[in-house]
Structures are given as structure tokens and as C-alpha cells.
Structure 1
């Protein structure tokens, strides 16, 4: 009895990694945008971490990852400014 190796489908091993990085870029953008309105203390750092990971993994959506990074930083800047203005650790519209 002769066993053969399974045929390769031609997919490369890096494809899921790039797709994950693209998802991280989009998620960082959405969380950064949402963080401007609510929970900026939590969503800002998450957006920054996801954007950095997406850029490090070589996402095809570099613009979206850079926007997510910028929005995550803006979340934290708004938090600091509002903390100085109101003397609290949160802000509301």
C-alpha cells in the first residue's frame, strides 16, 4: 500500500496573517472613532495596540491603520484635556 502526501492547494501561509492584519487595521479605526465618544480610556489604547500590530504585520490597509493609530492617540489627548478641564477621569457630551 502506497500512501501519498496530500496535494497542496497553492495557498501561501502568509495570506491569513495579512487578512488578520487588515482586520486589525479596520478594528483600530472603528475603536478609535468610537473612543472619541465613549470609553476613551479603554478604547484609545486598544486602537493604538491594534494599529501598531496591523502595521507591524504588513497590512494592505496602511491608511486605515494610521487613522486608527491617530484616533487612538486623539482619544487619550481628549481624555487628558477633559481631565484637566473638569478634574475628573471621564467626560460626557
Structure 2
């Protein structure tokens, strides 16, 4: 789960960050709760998941509340 969190966090920086960000956060938290041996990757997954959501927030604010531009 820690590796999946890390990979989803990385992919989320480029594609579908609103989907992959929360998934990376959830998997990273679950991996840490279950006592994974890959603690560093789980923490990186948490950080990347949070970064995914931050990128989404900046993109949403930059588009003035509208994700789609018509005309």
C-alpha cells in the first residue's frame, strides 16, 4: 500500500489530481496504520497526495472558479 500511495501521488501531480490525491492520502495513512516496513514511501505518498490537492486548488483558483472555459 505504501508503494501504491507513492505511485498514485506521483501520477496525481500530472493527471487527475482530484482523484489520485485523496487515494494517495488514504493508502499512505492505511499503510502507516498497519505498520508497513516502507514507512518512507508511505510518508512520501502522504506528502504527494497533499501536493496533488494543492495543485488542484491552485488550478481551480487560477481559473477563477471555472474549470471549463467557453468561448
Separation in structure 1 between the aligned mates of residue 14 and residue 59 of structure 2, nearest angstrom: 12
Q: Please name the residue that 1:46 is paired with.
A: 23
> Structure 2: any 5+ residue segments left out of the alignment?
none
State the TM-score, normalized to the length of structure 1: 0.69
Give the deviation of 1:86 after TM superposition.
1.3
Helix, strand or coil: the match of 2:40? helix
Helix, strand or coil: the match of 1:31? helix
Tell me the matched-pair count: 67
> Structure 1: any 5+ residue segments left out of the alignment?
1-23
Work out whether 1:80 is the aligned partner of 2:53: no
Give the deviation of 1:76 after TM superposition.
0.2
- Greater Rg, structure 1 or structure 2? 1
Give the structure with the larger helix fraction.
2
Q: Identify the match of residue 56 of structure 1 among 33, 40, 44.
A: 33
CA RMSD across the alignment: 1.2
The 5 Å alignment of 1:7-26 reads 24-26=1-3
Q: Please name the residue that 1:36 is paired with.
A: 13
